[in-house]
Chain A
Amino acid sequence: MVAQEAHAHQGPQGFIRKYIFSLDHKVIGLQYYFLALVAVFVGMFLSLLMRFHMIWPTAVLPLVGEIKPETYLQLLTMHGTIMVFFVLTTAPQGGFGNYFLPIQIGAPDMAFPVLNMLSFWTTFVAFIVILAAFFVTGGAPLHGWTGYAPLSALTNSGPGEQLGADLWITSIAIFCVASLMGALNFITTTLDMRAKGMTMMRMPLTVWSWFVTAILGLLAFGVLLSAGILLLLDRNLGTSFYVPLVVVNGQIMGHKGGSPLLWQHLFWFFGHPEVYIAILPGMGVASQLLSTFSRKPIFGYRAMVYAIMGIGFLGFMVWGHHMFMSGMSPYTAFSFSIMTMAIGVPSAIKTFNWLGTIYHGKVRFQTPMLYAIGFVSLFVSGGLSGPFLAQPVLDIPLHDTAFVVGHFHLIMGVAAIFGMFAGTYYWFPKMFGRMMNETWGRVHFVITLIGTYCIFMPMHYLGMAAQPRRYSQFTELAYLQHLLPLNRFITIAAIITIGAQFIFLINLFWSMFKGPKASDNPWEATTLEWTTATPPPHDNFGGVTPVVYHGPYEYSVPGAAKDYIMQTDPAGVTAH
């Protein structure tokens, strides 16, 4: 005991070591979170410009001016890239994962704190590099976040495809390295630094989701890195990995024999696990919150764990469903289709288990719970259009239409974001020692839920009505005229919803300084982060290594004194 307390140390004192180049996973987690917060507002601004342009294509906007067709493509490229990488891959995993994984398993920090600090600052550099693409000659690239070759592989294929595209690729390559460093840390920490009594099957589902997400990232980002290297070589050193014999503006380019399909395979082999990286942490948070706020154990903990693993594993086998229109053999399409539908099974297991968790629980409808329930709703809504697209025959008319846009936005752009909101409202008291405003939280929830449904549900109809995606202007097309009122409705909903996010922003920052003080365990939750002081000290547990006696969801245990038993509580009846 004495030796352990002697080892508890205060941590560095100087401003730079404490807040800038901190090695403390909690500070690093917050750094990731705030980076993602900046990125999401940049991304939302870009989407706002896109929505304006879709209904008023010839409008001249203040500051931005006229949005030309190529500008629209640049906007959508950067919107997608910034949102997918710097929001969805950064905040749930790098933000909450970094902050709470060590605490939830009873560790004083990540396995490799210096690597952790480097992984954040490398991500930061990647963000600066991609933002720089807006400001160089030619501007940002216009090849979409998917960067298909040969458009992305030729420097004269359009505005922004010179330095802008090189910066885009470089930023993504830097991001790959940063993510790999982070994944290494998460996996090593989870495997090697659990406290006594914290067996793998006693870990909270948040930890399981961060762990499996890290494994996905570990295996997927290397492939994206190789894709990006090949692209840089094609663009700048004359190789022909992706570029066949092409003619641009009447000029025969020097490439020969490359395959644009190679880019698609490499990109989507990464791209599909990437979307599971975006959603799994949100699923972990949803499980955690639904259990806590229903005062009931999670329904089927073991099944939830296997479902997370199943989703992760199957996620590597389905990349071809993004390529049904590439001319692949129908047999290949069939196998990708079957695997894609197979992923529906663990996803459905999780969904029914969430419902089973709430069912007959003593539900506390506080803001974090509202977001968790919203997550389930949006996961179902967005997820259900997936099996449609998983049918090659249906994908033929639906590919590259607004249907796909509705699908992936509901699930990545809303459900995953709701997971982040849920995590924010839930963990805010622990991180900042104060509560966020409950009333404004509910207002934000209602407007965002209704608003995002208004934005993205109609897109399914638009897609079935053959409205294409990535078209700069379709107001002149006769066969799409009847869809304009619906597009206007979506744009209005978008303006309102984006405006409502400022409620969240103000609530966040105001509460940090002026919110009511929080107790150590305001939600009466069972996991280890609620045993620490608020905010947790430098080494998380004040020199005392926790010992775990229970699983993470001991709520309403018959015969127990309270309706929850903390994981570190030595007393109390437990079956596992």
Chain B
Amino acid sequence: MKVPQTGKGGGTRPPAYRGGGDGGDGDGSPDYGARLRRARLGLAVLTAPIIMLFVSLTSAYVVRQGLPTLDESTNTYVRDWIPVNLPIALLLVNTLLLLVSSITAELARRQITRQAALASVPAIPGVSLGRERGFPWLMVTVVLGAGFLTGQWMAWRELAARGFYLATSASSSFVYLLTATHAIHLIGGMLVLLYAATVSLLKKPVESRRIVVDVTAWYWHFMLLLWIYIFGLVWFIK
């Protein structure tokens, strides 16, 4: 039984283009291993501009903190950075939600990897897998992600209740900016997760669905790391 590649190969040779064409079996079926590798490479490349976006915002944040401004009453330059009173407990809960969602996303990823590895088994005469009633890890991830976003919304409301709006101070501007930018990127990931969850209903080949879930799960982990970084930044660098 030929098990499709998991896409971990490659080495240092230049990869021969196989792409959607002749696969390892030579029977004209799409080379999912190559496609997975290409999709993962695309994701790795995608992280670069997202990181640059947050690097530039971080740089602006740190420099602004130390920047003195003119106090017109005394005509001297003073530091006017007012640390934001963050709802730490709520944000920690949100972090936990996102962490758990990362775990469930990883479980979803491994689940579909196993399913894809066994994709060619039903073709063997006399062998059947039986209906695998896997736990819906993907939908759980979506729900937890929605929970995180709801929690972020609640955190913004709490900030407003504490008198910190977007334009209240430089510090509050940055807190809203950093968390909202992260949230927008997370929403993008959620939309792809939803697509991956519904594609499973559309009966696309499991190897193809596996690629979508795999790449999205890795993106999800990246979003978690990004959130931990942003939370750490606004919590400790103030």
Contacts and interface: CB of A to CB of B under 8 A. Distances in A.
A233 B42 contact: no
Interface stretch (A25-33, A42-50, A67-75, A107-115): A107-115
B42 A245 contact: no
Given A3-B28, A184-B45, A221-B49, A192 B38 contact: yes
Nearest to B27: A3
Interface range for B: 35 or more
A239 B17 contact: no
Contact of A218 (B38, B49, B64, B166): B49
Identify the interface centre among A108, A192, A241, A266: most chain B CB within 10 Å of its CB: A192
Given A3-B22, A195-B17, A259-B64, A218 B48 contact: yes
B110 interface: no
A195 B45 contact: no
A321 B152 CA distance: 41
A447 to B, nearest CB: 41
A4 B23 CA distance: 10
Interface stretch (A159-167, A222-230, A459-467, A526-534): A222-230
A262 B17 contact: no
B235 to A, nearest CB: 21
B52 A222 contact: yes
Interface string A79-90: 000000000000
B15 A192 contact: yes
A192 B18 CA distance: 10
Contact of B70 (A197, A200, A220, A245): A245
Given A3-B21, A262-B63, A545-B21, A239 B166 contact: yes
B50 interface: yes
A196 interface: yes
A238 B63 contact: no
Contacts of A195: 16-17
A200 B15 CA distance: 11
Interface in A374-404: none
B56 A194 contact: no
Contacts of A199: 14
Contacts of B95: none
B163 interface: no
Contacts of B41: 111, 188, 191-192
Given A223-B56, A257-B67, A262-B60, A239 B21 contact: no
B167 interface: yes
B218 to A, nearest CB: 15
Contact of B42 (A3, A111, A223): A111
A454 interface: no
Contacts of A265: 59
B147 interface: no
Contacts of A225: 53
Given A7-B20, A218-B48, A241-B173, A188 B42 contact: yes
A200 B22 CA distance: 23
Nearest to A242: B60
Contacts of A200: 14
Interface string A90-121: 00000000000000001110011000000000
Nearest to B13: A199
Contact of A196 (B17, B42, B60): B17
Interface string A161-202: 000000000000000000010011001100111111111100
Given A195-B17, A226-B57, A244-B70, A239 B167 contact: yes
Given A184-B46, A221-B49, A241-B64, 12 more contacts: A3-B21, A108-B19, A111-B38, A192-B41, A218-B52, A222-B56, A223-B56, A226-B60, A233-B173, A237-B166, A259-B64, A266-B56
Interface of B: 14-17, 19-22, 26-28, 34, 37-38, 41-42, 45-46, 48-53, 55-57, 59-60, 63-64, 67, 69-70, 72, 80, 166-167, 170, 173, 177, 181
Cβ-closest 8 pairs across A and B: A222-B52, A238-B167, A222-B49, A257-B69, A222-B53, A196-B16, A3-B28, A223-B56
